[in-house]
Amino acid sequence: MKKTVRVTIDVEVTIDESKFDEKMMREFIEDFYNFPYIEDHIKFLAQLEARELAGEFIEGYGNVSEYGIELMVVDQEEKIID
């Protein structure tokens, strides 16, 4: 049997915007990914949480509490689409 499943996960992301200053953003782009906007970081952090890859320490951010990062799955749905 072969099925395609759509998985939808909604993640609530909280960050301390003041920690995402020009220096941090520049260094993150130089060392990790081209995320020029805070929204890019929010989406990335949500993906990590959805994939269960986020923890107290996240590469590129360090200790999440220092950045005011809070991640929480608020809804999840799985649906067989064919």
Q: Is 31 exposed, middle or buried (0-12, 13-18, 19+ CB in 10 A)?
A: exposed
> Residue 33: its pLDDT value, please?
97
Distance CA 38, CA 68 (A): 13
> Residue 27: its pLDDT value, please?
97
pLDDT digits (tens, 9 = 90+) for 10-20: 999 999 999 99
Q: What is the DSSP letter of 67?
A: G
Distance CA 60, CA 31 (A): 8
Q: Which residues of the chain have pLDDT under 70?
A: none
DSSP sequence for 5-35: EEEEEEEEEE--GGGS-HHHHHHHHHHT---
> Residue 18: its pLDDT value, please?
96
